[in-house]
Chains A and B, each alone.
Chain A
Amino acid sequence: MMMESMSGLLYALASLGAFALCAGIVLAIAQKIFHIEGDPMIDNIDALLPQTQCGQCGFPGCKPYATAVAGSEAEVNHCVPGGERTMLQIANLMGVEPKELDEEASAPMLAFVREDECIGCTLCIKACPVDAIIGAPKQYHTVIADHCTGCTLCVEPCPVDCIDMLVKPELIEHWAWPLPDTKRSQLGHERREQHAGHA
């Protein structure tokens, strides 16, 4: 009696072991075939970020923040200039629940150099993450309005403090229609809130 149960046990172990082994081999081979290098998610997220390289998310630029979010070490709602839309897009891409923004994005800003006070020390040129300030040592510098992302990194290193942040002027060509805001579309707003909270 002991012998059958022993041999039964033996058969069980043998068959299970054999099956598991060949499954393992197949998977190992598959691992080689479907090997993937870097994580493409980083580029997808980086493409969503506004690239202001401003560091307000606590990371030295957009690419590092994208890597952190892809590796899910950082939350999706740290990008302040991106605002709610970027946060919703990243949450959508990562398939996580959208989180409230911790800090409301201010109106878009532009740096402006008061040229008569500028001593030409090139400190702000080196501080600007997107090379939006031009000028040579000992010559006064100026900010290229089209290139400035408003990240305020140049204000602090300036020794004579001659850079101030101005609100970006709104052009008539860039004006966009707002949502219908009359009592008439109260229902529309209600539906918008519904969706916003549940992207």
Chain B
Amino acid sequence: MSLIMLSSPHAHGGDSIRMMMFTVVLALLPAAAVSVYLFGWLAFLLIVSCMLSALLMEAVCLKMMKRPLSTLLDNSAALTGLFLALTLPATTPWWMAVLGSVFAIVLGKQVYGGLGHNIFNPALSARVILLISFPLSMTTWIMPMSSVAPALNLFDFSTCATIFFYGTDALLTGGQLTLDAITMASPLGHIKTEATLGVPVAEALKAYNYSYLDAFLGFEAGSIGETSALALFIGGIFLLARHSITWHIPFAYIGTVLLLAAIFNQAAPDQFATPMFHLFAGGLILCAFFMATDPVSSPVTPVGQIVFGIGCGVLTWSIRSFGGYPEGAMFAVLLMNCAVPLIDHYFRPRVYGQNVGKQS
């Protein structure tokens, strides 16, 4: 009989990290499928390259740190790669995608000591690094389903491969397409530029022939994974059902954004967009259901998660309405990630029997 001292309990529920991460990958499949449907081979190449480079980089890091390669199987690296791919614009060149994955794995996770110790959400920090290092190519969006640019058939592998490997200008040397023909501003970006010229929001949207239904289904310019609100909602509900995440962060986050948008839209309709617009525009749902609820970089306790969600909501809405960048969700989540250790410390649930006071 081995004399190693095993403390109780001698039973286990059978849950494992691999299962939890796999559930999140499953939840992301609808969004990934819709992105391939909307952006064709571009999206597919992006997703594959990001996931592969993330896995490869994690293997390299584990080898260097002489840690067992078995931790690769907990598909957290694959998940980080998929997250990053979904936040990138369709026309991202391949080296930028790979660089992003390397940043995500090395600077985002391994440098902090591997799974479970990173302070910031790895995919999001890599996405912000790319945004600030390559501002132009990170904010060029193309309309999905090539409805705007008939000449750019997204389902023809060779054109997509040339865009992916040689960048958009290589395509244009053929002369038949100009860059601004196929690219356009994202709804958020459009409103911000119009607002600086003093055009009220309603008119700006009309000029952009923006329709809420298209935005809900996904036919709008934006990163490949964040356009379709429907697919993201399906994934989010799936996560809640499988108890991978709790309702606290998404509801608090989206609720705060909608509340702020509603109040200010009533106060000054032409200066602030409607709540519906904020919900379907940009990466709010992707960030709320997937990025902010990354268990490692979000608070542990329910009270803390609600405070975290409200913080993300306020920051997202204020950056979108007043800030310099069109999309505030990424910055908001990163900023709140900094505050997580303090939130954990100060927002702990009341322990049984502590300051119960007079009881009936």
Report A-B touching, CB under 8 Å. Answer: yes
User: Is A5 among interface residues, defined by CB-CB distance under 8 A?
Assistant: no
Render B1-40 as a binary contact track against A, CB cut-off 8 A, 1 for contact. 0001111000000000000000000000000000000000
Q: How far is the CB of A28 from chain B (nearest CB, A)?
A: 40
Query: What residues of B have a CB within 8 angstroms of the CB of A177 in the complex?
Result: 5, 7
Which of chain A's residues 143-192 have a Cβ closer than 8 Å to chain B? Answer: 177-178, 180-182
Binding site secondary structure of chain B: loop
Render A20-32 as a binary contact track against B, CB cut-off 8 A, 1 for contact. 0000000000000
Report how far A114 CA is from B5 CA in the complex, Å.
Answer: 38
CB-CB nearest in chain A for B4:
A182
For chain B, the bracket of interface size reads under 10
Report how far A178 CA is from B4 CA in the complex, Å.
Answer: 10
Count A interface residues, CB 8 Å.
Answer: 5
Report how far A177 CA is from B7 CA in the complex, Å.
Answer: 9
Report how far A181 CA is from B5 CA in the complex, Å.
Answer: 8
CB-CB nearest in chain A for B5:
A178
CB-CB nearest in chain B for A177:
B7
When the two chains form their complex, are residues A182 and B6 in contact, meaning their CB atoms are under 8 A apart? Answer: yes
Report how far A178 CA is from B5 CA in the complex, Å.
Answer: 8
Q: How far is the CB of A197 from chain B (nearest CB, A)?
A: 14
Report how far A180 CA is from B5 CA in the complex, Å.
Answer: 7
Report how far A178 CA is from B7 CA in the complex, Å.
Answer: 10
When the two chains form their complex, are residues A181 and B7 in contact, meaning their CB atoms are under 8 A apart? Answer: no
Query: What residues of A have a CB within 8 angstroms of the CB of B6 in the complex?
Result: 182
Query: What residues of A have a CB within 8 angstroms of the CB of B7 in the complex?
Result: 177, 180
Q: How far is the CB of B292 from chain A (nearest CB, A)?
A: 27
Report how far A182 CA is from B4 CA in the complex, Å.
Answer: 7
Report how far A180 CA is from B4 CA in the complex, Å.
Answer: 9
Query: What residues of A have a CB within 8 angstroms of the CB of B5 in the complex?
Result: 177-178, 180-181
Q: How far is the CB of B151 from chain A (nearest CB, A)?
A: 55
Q: How far is the CB of B73 from chain A (nearest CB, A)?
A: 16
Report how far A134 CA is from B247 CA in the complex, Å.
Answer: 69
Report how far A177 CA is from B5 CA in the complex, Å.
Answer: 9
CB-CB nearest in chain B for A182:
B4
Report how far A9 CA is from B4 CA in the complex, Å.
Answer: 83
Report how far A102 CA is from B150 CA in the complex, Å.
Answer: 78
Q: How far is the CB of A196 from chain B (nearest CB, A)?
A: 16
Q: How far is the CB of A186 from chain B (nearest CB, A)?
A: 10
Render B259-285 as a binary contact track against A, CB cut-off 8 A, 1 for contact. 000000000000000000000000000
CB-CB nearest in chain A for B117:
A191
CB-CB nearest in chain A for B68:
A186
Report how far A177 CA is from B6 CA in the complex, Å.
Answer: 10
CB-CB nearest in chain B for A194:
B113
Q: How far is the CB of B76 from chain A (nearest CB, A)?
A: 15
Report how far A181 CA is from B3 CA in the complex, Å.
Answer: 11
Which of chain B's residues 181-231 have a Cβ closer than 8 Å to chain A? Answer: none
Q: List 9 A-B contacts (CB under 8 A).
A: A177-B5, A177-B7, A178-B5, A180-B5, A180-B7, A181-B4, A181-B5, A182-B4, A182-B6
Given contacts A177-B7, A182-B4, 7 further A-B contacts (CB under 8 A): A177-B5, A178-B5, A180-B5, A180-B7, A181-B4, A181-B5, A182-B6
8 pairs of A and B residues whose beta carbons are closest in the complex? A182-B4, A181-B4, A178-B5, A177-B7, A182-B6, A177-B5, A181-B5, A180-B7
